[in-house]
Structure formats: C-alpha cells, structure tokens
Structure 1
Amino acid sequence: MNINLATTSEINEIAKFVTKLNQQKSTHIGYAGTEFDEIVATLEEDFVLENGRLAFVLLKNEIEEIVGAIGLDIDENSAEVWGPFEDSISEKELTTLWQTTLDQFPHVETAHFFVNLENTTQQKFIERLHVKKTGEYLTLTVSKGDFEPLNSQRLFPFQAGDEKDFESLHNELFPNTYYDAKTIVSRINEDNKLLLFKNEQQALQGYAYFEVATVFGEASLEYIAVSPKHQNQGLGTLLLKEVLQEIFKHDTIAEIRLCVENDNDRANHVYMKAGFKMDNILLGYTFNR
C-alpha cells in the first residue's frame, strides 16, 4: 500500500472513486457531491495546490488503484473533510491515512466532518478521534414543478453596513455551524447570494444564503432563518417562498437542496409545506488538534 499527496493528473481518478462511494448512503459524505462532473469541477476549483498537487491524500493498492482517500477543502486554518472515503481497507490503514493527511497540512487546526447517518463505518472511525459532535441534520430537496410563485418582494442583497446585524443574528441562530458569518460574506459572488429579509424600517428580520451552480443545474440553500424576535408571524413561510422564487429564476435550476437541523420541527414543517422532501440525514463533527 502506498500513501501520497495527489496530483492534478489524478483528478478524474479521484472523482470516479468519490462518485462511486458517495452515491450510496452507507459510504456517503455530506460535503462531496454525487455526480462525476460536479466533483471534478469542485476538485479543480477548491483543491488545487502549488506545484500541481491537490489537497487530497490517496491510499493505493499494489496495482495502483485508489482504495482510500481524504481531501481537505481548506479555508485558512480550518477545513471541510471530504472523506474518509475507503473501499475495504483496514482500521490501521485508515488511521495512517488520516494521520498522513494531518501531517501534510500542519496549519489546519480545525477539521469539520459531515457524514451520512447510514455511513456507520466512518461514524465509528471519526468518533474515535475525540471529536465534538455538532449536530444532526436533514438534507431536503424541492423541484421547480412543486413550487408555486408569489408576488411579494422583501429580500435585499447583502451590502456594506449589514455586517454587524447579520453576524449577530447568524451567530445567535447557528453558533456551531460549518460556515460562520464572516465565511458566508467572503463566499458571496455572482452565484453565491446572501439575501436579507427586512421590514419597512429596514430592520433585519431574517436572511438566506444559497449557492447556485448553473453549469450543473443545481442550487443549494445553505442557510435560511428568521430572527427569534419576529417568529410566529408567518414570516418563515414568506421568506422561504421568496428565496425559492429567486433561485428558480435561473433557467437551469430545476431542483433546490438545503440542510437543516433534524430536531427543528417548526422549520421542517415550513419546508415540507413548501414542497421539500427528505433526502439524507447527516451527522456533523468538529476535530481540533
């Protein structure tokens, strides 16, 4: 068995391996996609290092086939873990693969895992790393055909000057989440939108952050929330419908995904009313050196 840092020439090989495993709930990892082209694009955009290397550590067998892989989508000193992905390797080999990953990226102090509830093998491995469990989440989907548009418009793009109010609300509602407020703001671009829900006095009542991949015809609703001060007024349903309407303006988007806390019964009821259906249950963990 050989363990090495991957190169860009191995992107297609890695994507094929990840695609095969991530299309099964028993080996599914939440951060990675399930379609080959989407995974290739993400590897090319977020994982390429200097000198033709990737932020992916590979374990290969004697005939040079990938049997284990761990990738890090790194943002300064923190990273989202793509993996572990493995095909019948031993516990010792998996441990060595993880330790090699840590050794390759010593500046990464915090690593976030997102693993399917049915992926019990990786749950057991991750929990042996003395991680902190950050929550249990549902991934939900809604199709354009299930959505009924509306005429109201109370959403506004995030602007300079909104930072303080947004950060305060996001940190209050999602204190241990995978994207903090500063990370969300840093990710805003033509395809990643942060929209704020305000009243006539321009007071922040809620917000939504979503990412659109028009090339793949996909959209992911990462966060949506109403301030506790303004709940129980029907604003959650209105906010959700306005966000869906904004996303479905993209001709290539036929389906929307979002991730919510599994025990948030009130919010989940709103999502189901809007046409969302459950896809996966995911467990979040945080590892600190």
Structure 2
Amino acid sequence: MIRECRREDFNKVIKYIFEKNAIAEYAFDTCPNEMEGIQQLLEEAIDKNDMKIIVSYEEKNINGVALLPCNDIENDCIGIFTTSSFKDIAMSMFQYVKDTLKGKSYYLYVNEQNKHIEELKDYYKVNDLGKDMTLVLDTYSDSFINSYIQENKQEDSFEEFKEDFAVMHDELFPDIYWSSKRILESLDDWKIILENNQDILIGYVILVMNKDNIYIQQIGVKEEYRKNGYGHKLIRRVMNYAAMNRKSLILDVETDNTSAISLYKSLGFKTVKVKHLYQIKF
C-alpha cells in the first residue's frame, strides 16, 4: 500500500530513512553529517506544503519512502529509500510518481555505491549528468577561532544590498529552484554572507543552517571579478563563521572541478561521499 505520510507517522519515517541511509547500497543523497539537517528541512517543507513524503507499507511496516516536490517547477529532485526488493517496491513508487506528477523530468542524486539505479534504466530513460563530491570540514584549531574573534568583522547589511543580490543571483543561476524570490520570501531559513567593495556587491554565499551543520547552498561571484581571490575570501569568511559557531561545514562540488576540490582540501575539507546526478524522464 502506498499513501502520503501522515503527520503522526513522521518520526517513524525519519527513523526509517536514517537506518536505511546507513547502508551504502540503499543510500541516496544524504550522509551522517547531514541527517539532522534533512529531518529539519523535511519538517519545514511539509509544514509549508513544499514537499510530500510518500510511504510504502507492508501491513504496518514501512518498506519504502519517496520524497516529492509540491511545486510547479519543471525540474526538481526526488529521493527514494527502500528496503528488501528494490525492483518491486521502488518501481511501484516510481509509478506513483509518474502518475502523480506527469510530464516532468526529475533530478535524482544517488550515492556512488548505490547500484540500484541500473534497474530503473530498464523502465525509464535515465541520463547520467555527472558526479558531485560532498566535502566536510568539522575540525577547527583554537587559533583559527581566535583569529576570527580578533578580526571581529562587521557583517554588511543585507537590506542595503537586497536588490543587488536578487539581480545578481537570478543572472548567475537563472534555472534553479531557489530563485531570489523564493530565498527572499524565506530569509529566516538562510544566512547570506556578502562580499562587497564599498557600494558594489561582488559576491555572496548562501548558507543553510541547523543545530550541528552549515551547508553551503550557493556561491556567486560577478563574472568580471572572478579569478581575483573573491571566491576564496568568501569561503574563508564562511569557515570563520562556522568555526565561531562550532558547526561542521558541508558543501558539494562537481568532481571534474579539480581546482575547487584542491582549494577545499587545502583548507582542511575531507571527502565523505561521491554521488551521481541522474535525470529521469517519465
């Protein structure tokens, strides 16, 4: 039986996701550092009606979970977590997805060790769009933290640059779900760190925060200011902020972006997983 998750079943579903995600062959787009953040984001998404959780039950036991967006965007992400027979359970859930959200393409991140995606290729058109690497920084020296305290940099007023941020973000990333409009409508869910030269906005970093972690959602630098060290400067400021707040820092980078990976690793980031990005056309 497949149905939408009821609020009273939410904790049971989250526990199921946590348990199955610990098994590499079933893991999709999460790692241990991110799990608490995933729970927080799911709770908020459900409360705001941005996402549905579809659950497969066998009698009273959960044997599959699908995450579906509740928006009208043409392309979005779904996540599938399964037990037992991937073919039987996941295929029935994908059929539910197909029937519920017709005519769209979906993007799905899959842990590199999860080989079950191959089974989907027998039924749907699956395009491999490349791989991303998830990096984590969770250790900071006392001297690093103290240097931030001594620096005591005054944060720039976001209100002052709000309009400039909106224009820059939509120009740099015109096709992503998190448009400037969506971000500005939910500013309480984000922290945005700016880099500016007097009254000119040069770049920014968008952060998603939870109890233990900070996730770098997006980094943007104006094209004419690139290769001048501003991206590195923004990352250092984010590291300082994370260290001061005693939080792990998580980011994703494409595996063929070797220069960025080298930079992050030189700053102390460690690889925790590699994941494929697939486009599934129903």
Q: TM-score range by the shorter chain?
A: 0.7 to 0.9
Q: CA deviation at 1:90?
A: 4.9
> Paired residue for 1:257?
250
> Paired residue for 1:89?
85
The residue type equivalent to 2:70 in the other structure is: I
Structure having greater relative contact order (Cα 8 Å, sep ≥ 6): 2
Provide the C-alpha distance between the structure 2 equivalents of 1:36 and 1:242, rounded to a whole number of angstroms: 25
> Paired residue for 1:274?
267
Alignment of 1:89-238 (within 5 A): 89-105=85-101, 109-122=104-117, 124-125=119-120, 128-146=123-141, 148=144, 149=147, 151=151, 156=156, 157=158, 158-171=161-174, 179-189=178-188, 191-200=189-198, 202-213=199-210, 216-238=211-233
User: Does the CA-based 8 Å contact 1:155-1:198 persist in structure 2?
Assistant: no
Q: CA deviation at 1:242?
A: 1.0
- Secondary structure of 2:163's counterpart equals coil
Q: Say which is worse superposed, 203-212 or 10-19, in terms of deviation.
A: 203-212
| Alignment size in residue pairs | 272
Provide the C-alpha distance between the structure 2 equivalents of 1:262 and 1:136, rounded to a whole number of angstroms: 6
What is the RMSD computed on CA atoms of the aligned residues? 3.2
Query: Which one has a larger percent helix, Structure 1 or Structure 2?
Result: 2
Q: CA deviation at 1:141?
A: 0.6
Structure 2 residue 279 is matched with structure 1 residue 286: yes
Give % identity.
Answer: 19
- Secondary structure of 1:141's counterpart equals strand
- Secondary structure of 1:248's counterpart equals helix
- Secondary structure of 1:286's counterpart equals strand
Provide the C-alpha distance between the structure 2 equivalents of 1:275 and 1:209, rounded to a whole number of angstroms: 20
Provide the C-alpha distance between the structure 2 equivalents of 1:166 and 1:209, rounded to a whole number of angstroms: 10
Provide the C-alpha distance between the structure 1 equivalents of 2:33 and 2:68, rounded to a whole number of angstroms: 17
The residue type equivalent to 1:284 in the other structure is: L
Q: CA deviation at 1:238?
A: 1.6
Deviations 1:189-226 (A, max 9, x none): 2x4123332224x434332111111xx32211122244
Deviations 1:76-128 (A, max 9, x none): 43543121x1112252442221111333455x834321111111113542685
Provide the C-alpha distance between the structure 1 equivalents of 2:196 and 2:123, rounded to a whole number of angstroms: 45
Q: CA deviation at 1:38?
A: 4.7
Q: Say which is worse superposed, 162-171 or 257-266, in terms of deviation.
A: 162-171
TM-score for both structures, normalised by structure 1:
0.79
Deviations 1:171-191 (A, max 9, x none): 4xxx6x6645554444432x4
Q: CA deviation at 1:17?
A: 1.1
